[in-house]
Structure 1
C-alpha cells in the first residue's frame, strides 16, 4: 500500500497550478518553545490552501469526455477553490455545492474562478448529499475533497517537498485533520521514506472524527460538528483515508478553540500572516505535543494549511487568543461595598495589567467584580485567586468557564429579583442571514424570556444565552420543548458565574 502511494505521489500532476511552498523557520515560536520549529507555508498557494494539489491531480487524470461534461464537488471552501482553479486551468465546467454557513470570502473566491456555486444545507454532509444528487442527474464527475486516491496523492506531495528540502533529522510533522486526505497522503509517504519521523494529526475539540475513529478501530459518525475550524469540520472521516491513518499515523491531538486562536496569533507574530482556524491546527497541536512530552531541542514541522480567514471572525480570535495562550486570567471577585474597598483591591493586584473590568452596584454590602488580568504563565490565575482569598476577598477562577467568556463578560451587573423560576440555557445555531430570527421564531412564546444575550462573534455559528421563567409544574413540558427545538443546548442554570452576576 505504501509503495503504491509513493509511486502515485512521485507521479502526481500538481505543479501546473500549485507551487512548491517554502519551509520557513519560525524564530519567535522556536525561541518560546525551545525547539526548532518550521512551517510549511501552504497558505501561500494561489488559493491560499493546500487543497488545490489534490483537486488538480484528480482532475488532470480525467478523460476528455469526463472533462467535457464537467465536474462537481461539495466543500466548505478551500477544496472548492482548488476545484474551481483546476477547472479554469483545464477549461471545464465546475459546480460547487457549499454549505450555507460557508464564509462569504470563500464563496466569492470560488465564483471569481468561474465556478457555479450552489448553497445547500448547514454542514458539509448536507452539501455532499445534494452534490451526489446533481452528479447523477447531470452526469458530472465527482471530485471528492479527501476520500480519493488521486486526491490523497496530490496532498502527499507536501511531504515529498519537505523531505526533499530538509535532509536533517525531524522529530515530528503535524497535520490538520478533517476527512483525513492530507494526513493520509503525508503519513503514507513519510513512513515509506523516513519512518523514524512521527506523524501527528491535529483536530478541533468539537470535530474529532479521526481521533474517535482510531480509538474505536472503525469509522465513527459524529452527531454534530463545531464549525469554527470549518476547513476541517466533517462528521465522518474517509473510507479510503481511515485505514491509511490507522497504519501510519503515530498520534492524534485534539485542541480547543482557544488554543486555535492562540496559534493564529503565534503564527502572525512570526510571519505577519493570518491563518484560518483549520490552517492553525497544526501549530496548536504542536504546542500541546511539546507540553505533553516535555520536548526540547527537537525539529518540528507544522503544515500551515490555509489562510482563507473571514475578516469578521478576527474579533473572536483576538478576544480568545490571550486566554488560549494562558496570558489572561478571568476572575469573579467579591469585595465589600465600602469606601476604599476598590482601591484596596487594586492595590492587591499590584502592577498586573487589568484587561477587563465589569462592575455594577447591586447589593448594599457586597460588590461582585468581573476582572480580566494579563498573566505570564498558566499557574498565575490560581496564585492570584489564592492571594485574594487569603485577603478575605472570595474569588472564583472563570478562565476556563465557557459561558463567562462568551456571554457574561458582556452582561455583568444584572441580578433581577423579579425573574422568578429562571432557567438559563446556552444555544448554538448555524450562523447565516436570518438565522437569529429563525431561532427566535422557533423559541415560540410559551415561557417568558427574562434574559437574552446574542453577539455575532464572526464565527460560523451563533451563540445565544437565554433565561426563561419556567414554573416547577411546567419543567417536563420545557424538557420536551428543548428536545424538539433542534438546536444544541447546555443548561447553565447552576453555572457559578451566572449565579454570582445575574441569578
Structure 2
C-alpha cells in the first residue's frame, strides 16, 4: 500500500478540535433489522460533522509561513466548517467557495467562525474550479475536502476509535461516500488490522460516482449529481480515494431518497438526534444490507457523519420517511359517485389508519380518490390493494410513483361545475385510530360529499376539509348535526381561496 496510512492515522492531530465521538447502540432499529446496529456519532463533533478531523490534520501540518498566506477550499458545507474552525484555532485566513445550493445553515456556520464565504456554481465541481483559481491568485494553500493523504488520515481516526470502542466480533462498517475521504481513511486503518471486517460504502442512487467508478475500473465523472444528500453531491471521486477504495472497500450500496428519509427517522426514534441526509446514508445502507444478506445477530456499525440541515427540509423528510420504510401505501381508488360510497370505502379499509384522503367531485358516475394508508410493510399494502380490487374498486398503486408523491397529492381538486348547494366546512377532532370513521358516521348518509381532504400530520388533532351538498330545505338538519358534532368546526363557504380555486 502506498503511503503508510496506519502510521499517518496513529499520528494524526485531530483532538485539538475534535472529540472522540460515542459509539451508541440503536436499540429500536436493531430489533427491527434483527442485528446489533451501533451508530458512530460524528454528528456530535463541534461542527456537527466528521470533516473537522481531516481539515485540521491537514492545516496543522502547514508551516507558519504558509499558514500566514491563508487557505482556500471548496465545500458543500461540512468540510467548510471544519476548515473554518481549524483556521480560527490556527489564526489564519480562510476563504470558502460554496455552491449556491448549499443550505443556509452551513453558510452561516462558516461565517460565524470568521471565514469568508464565496458562493459559486450549482455543484461542488463548479465551486472547486473557482476555489483552485482563487488559491492560485492569492498564493494560498488549497485544502482538499477528500483527495489528500493528510485529510484521509484525519478521517481515518474514526476507524481507530471504532476498533478501540468496540470489543468482540464486528461484521461490517458502513460509511457514506461522496469524494471518498471518510471511507478511504476508515478502510485504510481497519483493513490493515482486521481484513475480515467488511467496509461498505453507501451512496445515493443519483450521486453514485464511486459505485460507477469501481464498477468500470476507472474514475468516471457524472453529468449531474443529485442534491438531496448535498454533503455527498460529488460528480467525480478523488484519485487517491479511488485507489484506496478499489483496494480496500468491499462494496458500494445505493439507496434512494425515501430510504434516506426513513433512516433519518430511524435515528431520531433511537437517539432524538436529526441527521442530515448524507449523515443518514450509512444507516440506510446497513438496513438494505441486513435485509439483502438475510443476516441475523451480527454486529454492524454505521457512521452517522453529520447533522447540518435546514429546518425547513424536515417537512419533506417527514412526508417521505413512511414511504421509505414502506409503511405507507399511496393509491388512486375509483368508487361509485353516490351518497354513502365514501363511507363504505373507508369501512373496507378496516382498522388501518388513513394518513391522507383527497377527493373532489368531477364525474356523476365515478369518483376518483387519492388515499394514503399506514401499513406494516409492502406485503400488507399489496394485500390491501388486491382486497379492494376483489370488491370491485379499481385501484392504482402509486406508492412508487414519484410525480404522484411529489405533486399530484397536492393538486387533487379543481372546480366542480355540477355541484349544487355546496357548503364547505373545516372540522377538527381528536386524531386516534378509528377517529375518521367515527367522524363519517356522525354525518347524515344522504348528504353527498363533494370534496374531502384529510391528512394525518402526527398531531393530537385530525383536520378535515369537507364539501357537502346540502339542499336549502335541509339546512336546519345540517345545523343540528353541527351542534351535535362536539368538536371545533369552521364555516369556510365564504373563504376567498375556496371561491378562487374550488367553488
Q: Same fold (TM over 0.5)?
A: yes
TM-score, with normalisation over the residues of structure 1?
A: 0.82
Q: Distance in 2 between matches of 1:130 and 1:374?
A: 48
Q: Distance in 2 between matches of 1:375 and 1:325?
A: 10
Q: Distance in 2 between matches of 1:37 and 1:331?
A: 33
How far is 1:364 from its partner?
0.8
Is the alpha carbon distance of 1:227 and 1:158 closer, same or farther for their aligned partners in structure 2, counting shifts above 3 Å?
same
How far is 1:339 from its partner?
2.2
Is the alpha carbon distance of 1:416 and 1:403 closer, same or farther for their aligned partners in structure 2, counting shifts above 3 Å?
farther
Q: What is the match of residue 389 of structure 2? A: 389
Q: What is the match of residue 273 of structure 1? A: 273
For the Cα contact (< 8 Å) 1:53–1:82, is it kept in 2? Answer: yes
For the Cα contact (< 8 Å) 1:258–1:324, is it kept in 2? Answer: yes
How far is 1:251 from its partner?
1.1
Q: How big is the alpha-carbon RMSD for the aligned residues of Structure 1 and Structure 2? A: 1.2
For the Cα contact (< 8 Å) 1:2–1:189, is it kept in 2? Answer: no
Structure 2 counterpart SS, 1:407: helix
Which of these two proteins has the greater Rg computed from alpha carbons?
Answer: 2
How far is 1:380 from its partner?
1.5
Q: What is the match of residue 141 of structure 2? A: 141
For the Cα contact (< 8 Å) 1:75–1:98, is it kept in 2? Answer: yes
Q: Distance in 2 between matches of 1:166 and 1:53?
A: 20
How far is 1:347 from its partner?
1.1
Indicate the larger mover: 406-415 or 198-207.
406-415
Aligned positions of 1:3-18 closer than 5 A: 4-18=4-18
Q: Distance in 1 between matches of 2:414 and 2:380?
A: 29
Q: What is the match of residue 350 of structure 2? A: 350
Structure 1 counterpart SS, 2:195: coil
Q: What is the match of residue 340 of structure 2? A: 340
Structure 1 counterpart SS, 2:4: helix
Q: Distance in 2 between matches of 1:240 and 1:416?
A: 62
Q: Deviations over 1:437-463 (max 9, x none)?
A: xxxxxxxxxxxxxxxxxxxxxxxxxxx
Specify every segment of 5 or more residues in structure 1 that has no aligned partner in the other structure, as ranges.
Answer: 418-503
How far is 1:102 from its partner?
0.8
In the alignment, does 2:225 pair up with 1:229? no
Q: Distance in 2 between matches of 1:343 and 1:41?
A: 48
Q: What is the match of residue 39 of structure 1? A: 39
How far is 1:29 from its partner?
1.1
Q: What is the match of residue 490 of structure 2? A: none
Aligned positions of 1:201-350 closer than 5 A: 201-350=201-350
Is the alpha carbon distance of 1:415 and 1:213 closer, same or farther for their aligned partners in structure 2, counting shifts above 3 Å?
farther
For the Cα contact (< 8 Å) 2:362–2:416, is it kept in 1? Answer: no
Q: What is the match of residue 163 of structure 1? A: 163
For the Cα contact (< 8 Å) 1:357–1:369, is it kept in 2? Answer: yes
Q: Deviations over 1:291-345 (max 9, x none)?
A: 1101110000000000001100001000100111111000000011122211211
How far is 1:2 from its partner?
6.7
Q: Distance in 1 between matches of 2:218 and 2:358?
A: 49
Q: What is the match of residue 405 of structure 1? A: 405
For the Cα contact (< 8 Å) 2:21–2:45, is it kept in 1? Answer: yes
Aligned positions of 1:416-455 closer than 5 A: none
Q: Distance in 1 between matches of 2:26 and 2:366?
A: 49
Structure 1 counterpart SS, 2:159: helix
For the Cα contact (< 8 Å) 1:3–1:192, is it kept in 2? Answer: no
Kindly tell me the number of residue pairs found equivalent between the two proteins. Answer: 417
Structure 1 counterpart SS, 2:169: coil
Q: Distance in 2 between matches of 1:403 and 1:327?
A: 19
Indicate the larger mover: 163-172 or 354-363.
163-172
In the alignment, does 2:113 pair up with 1:121? no
How far is 1:32 from its partner?
1.3
Q: Deviations over 1:406-460 (max 9, x none)?
A: 000000135999xxxxxxxxxxxxxxxxxxxxxxxxxxxxxxxxxxxxxxxxxxx
Q: Distance in 1 between matches of 2:39 and 2:88?
A: 29
How far is 1:167 from its partner?
2.3
For the Cα contact (< 8 Å) 1:43–1:50, is it kept in 2? Answer: yes
How far is 1:85 from its partner?
0.2
Runs of 4 or more, structure 1, over 2 Å off, are 413-417
Q: Distance in 1 between matches of 2:91 and 2:340?
A: 75
Q: Distance in 2 between matches of 1:146 and 1:173?
A: 19
Aligned positions of 1:2-81 closer than 5 A: 4-81=4-81
Structure 1 counterpart SS, 2:358: strand
Q: Deviations over 1:153-192 (max 9, x none)?
A: 0000000000012121000000000000001111111110
How far is 1:204 from its partner?
0.7
TM-score, with normalisation over the residues of structure 2?
A: 0.82
Q: What is the match of residue 189 of structure 1? A: 189
Indicate the larger mover: 342-351 or 227-236.
342-351
Q: Distance in 1 between matches of 2:193 and 2:255?
A: 29
Q: Distance in 2 between matches of 1:38 and 1:216?
A: 32
For the Cα contact (< 8 Å) 2:361–2:416, is it kept in 1? Answer: no
Structure 2 counterpart SS, 1:240: helix
Specify every segment of 5 or more residues in structure 2 that has no aligned partner in the other structure, as ranges.
Answer: 418-503
For the Cα contact (< 8 Å) 2:356–2:373, is it kept in 1? Answer: yes
Structure 2 counterpart SS, 1:95: strand
